[in-house]
Amino acid sequence: MMQMSLMMRITIVFVLVASCLLALPNVLTSSQREALPGWLPKQAMNLGLDLQGGAHLVLQVQMDDVMVRAYENLEDQVRMLAREKRWVLGSVASGKDGVVLGSTDAALADALRTELGREQVEVAVAGQGMQLVFNSTMVAELKRRALGQTLQVLRSRVDEFGVAEPLIQQQGDDRVIVELPGVSDVARAKASIGKTAQLTFHLVKEEGDMALPLGGLMTLQEPRDGVMVPLVVHKRPSLTGEMLTSAAAGFDQYGAPAVDIAFDARGTKLFAQLSTNHVNKRFAIVLDGKVYSAPVFREPILGGRAQISGSFKTEEAQDLAAILNAGALPAAVNVVEERTVGPSLGADSVQAGLAAMVGGLIAVLVFMFLFYGLFGMAANIGLVANLVILVAVMSALGFTLTLPGMAGMVLTLGMAVDANVLIFERMREEVLNGKKPFAALLAGFEGAFRTIIDGHVTTLVAAVVLFALGSGPVKGFAVALTIGLLASLFTSITLVRWMLLAWMRAYKPQALPI
């Protein structure tokens, strides 16, 4: 048949036009992209860390902190049960290895097992007391949740700082990789992203208070007139930052930078009760164990709003507001590896990558023309279309272009003509076997089709494995390679075939120029 179906021709034209429109923003400046009509796409590929500079951080989650906090909560739960049930516990102390009670009462141990749940907490009586510990399944679940929450909070924080296309992924059981392309102030980003941001509100122990509060007391340092002085507060917070709905940088009554915060419905109710029951008493606003201020409740605060003030700079207040909006990390994180990539290296990498792509493209175009003449020109048009489709799809997906991604694109250019080489060589064989031009052309496409599919599927399997098992840069290479292979299938089997059939129909040659 000398003509392709109408539906196939419409599909080819639609794909090419759509690809040109999607790829267009990549050759325009940011101002030119903004000036485009609203119906045109404006999204271009983002440059990765290795191309535009930035920071590569490896953070380690302090799982001991997770267990300490979990056992502190268990301690509070045990104390409340003891008051409710009128148990005699003896001494009570929690740490990263469990909660230790001074009692050795076997009946109390059985009661604790029943109340706390045998599937979560193990109770062992030994020596001068008993120890409560989470079982191995619960410990693993607590750590898994902590790592998942850390990933979620870090993503929110990075979004608050406006970093384009960051990479945040888990590494092992307790580490997180964070890549921040385009970040100029790496120290500020590192300090802000890694801040635990555990915001709590504690009542201050006033002189004359005799009763020991639930959870005991602790001593912190309060800034007062430029000097840090001891401040004794209730260990158990009356309110936590988990009840915040918003935080915004502002100014206090003296014009100094501060952070205004608002609570959710539950937090508003608790804050109203707290301020109503403790009028003329102090409460401490504590962030990561540091007292920022310890004001006095002059009157009940019913609106669910408060202000964190201190010796802030404007930039610090803005960062703290962003951190509080993103939420608190479940545990402290330490930077165990840091690499900074300068923008000059990124510019050199972009130029080298572009030079490789242009050089590779020109070399392939020349090769195809010299070896296959007119048919090689048709393959070259398909190759350019393949590159446009590749860039278009990567732009539409919001792909972050890295050096491995550019390598995948360069490799794709070389592999894109492989299908046409197989087709043209099969045509030559059919001509040598005595077939007419049109029959040789159709036999070339049909005979090479299975070989083309086998070769592409084999490479696609390798790309899928690279994507599944590789890290960020390797995934970028795999994605670029996969999209390029699929695009080359489309251009070689449909676009090039359409062009050659149209030429055959128009000129009806007596011999194939191949």
Please report which confidence band the pLDDT of residue 392 belongs to, taking 50, 70 and 90 as the band edges. Answer: very high
* Structure-token match 């607590």, residue found: 142
Q: Tell me the three state secondary structure of residue 339.
A: strand
* Structure-token match 């191995």, residue found: 136
The residue with greater pLDDT, 483 or 207, is 483
Distance set, CA 462 to CA 466, 467, 470, 474, 480 (Å): 6, 9, 11, 12, 13
CA atoms within 13 A on the CB side of 418: 19
Q: Is the pLDDT of residue 2 over 60?
A: no
Give pTM, 2 decimals. Answer: 0.59
* Average pLDDT for 458-487: 84
Radius of gyration of the chain (CA): 33
Q: Is the pLDDT of residue 343 over 70?
A: no
* Average pLDDT for 192-214: 72
Instruction: Give the architecture-level CATH label for domain 6-48+343-507.
Output: Up-down Bundle (1.20)
Nearest to 59 by CA among 172, 184, 188: 172
Q: What is the dihedral of CA 208, 210, 216, 218, to 10 degrees?
A: 20
Q: pLDDT of 214-234, one tens digit each? A: 667 788 877 776 677 888 888
Residue 478 · residue 405 · CB < 8 Å: no
pLDDT for the residue numbered 12: 93
* Average pLDDT for 248-263: 83
Q: pLDDT of 177-191, one tens digit each? A: 888 877 767 777 777
Computed over every residue of the chain, the mean pLDDT equals 82
Which helix (DSSP H) or strand (DSSP E) does residue 270 occupy?
A: helix 265-277
Helices (H), ranges, 53-135: 63-85, 106-116
Domain 200-309 belongs to what topology?
Gyrase A; domain 2 (3.30.1360)
* Average pLDDT for 96-124: 85
CA distance 103 to 92: 9
* Average pLDDT for 82-95: 85
Please report which confidence band the pLDDT of residue 345 belongs to, taking 50, 70 and 90 as the band edges. Answer: low
Residue type at position 73: N
Please report which confidence band the pLDDT of residue 161 belongs to, taking 50, 70 and 90 as the band edges. Answer: low
Q: How many CB atoms lie within 10 A of CB 431?
A: 19
* Dihedral angle sign, alpha carbons of residues 344, 346, 348, 350: negative
* String of DSSP letters for 434-498: T--HHHHHHHHHHHHHHHHHHHHHHHHHHHHHHHHHS-HHHHHHHHHHHHHHHHHHHIIIIIHHH
Q: pLDDT of 58-72, one tens digit each? A: 889 889 988 988 888
CA distance 327 to 264: 14
CA distance 514 to 506: 17
Q: Is the pLDDT of residue 393 over 80?
A: yes
pLDDT for the residue numbered 28: 86
Q: Is the pLDDT of residue 381 over 90?
A: yes
* Average pLDDT for 290-314: 79
Please report which confidence band the pLDDT of residue 17 belongs to, taking 50, 70 and 90 as the band edges. Answer: very high
| Number of helical H runs and strand E runs in the chain | 15, 19
Nearest to 311 by CA among 291, 331, 337, 284: 291
Which helix (DSSP H) or strand (DSSP E) does residue 90 occupy?
A: none
Nearest to 485 by CA among 358, 365, 397, 389: 389
Q: Is the pLDDT of residue 457 over 60?
A: yes
Q: Is the pLDDT of residue 210 over 60?
A: no
CA distance 449 to 258: 68
pLDDT for the residue numbered 22: 92
pLDDT for the residue numbered 389: 93
Distance of CA 422 to the CA centre of its chain: 42
Q: Is the pLDDT of residue 164 over 60?
A: no
Q: pLDDT of 322-340, one tens digit each? A: 777 766 677 888 888 888 7
pLDDT for the residue numbered 126: 76
CA distance 409 to 196: 40
CA distance 275 to 135: 40
CA atoms within 13 A on the CB side of 287: 17
Q: pLDDT of 405-454, one tens digit each? A: 788 887 887 777 888 888 999 998 888 888 888 888 888 888 888 888 88
Q: pLDDT of 36-64, one tens digit each? A: 888 888 888 877 777 777 788 888 988 99
Q: Which of 203-212, 279-288, 293-302, 434-443 has the highest mean pLDDT?
A: 434-443
Residue 233 · residue 218 · CB < 8 Å: yes
Map out the domains of the chain as residue ranges.
6-48+343-507, 63-140, 200-309
Q: Is the pLDDT of residue 204 over 90?
A: no
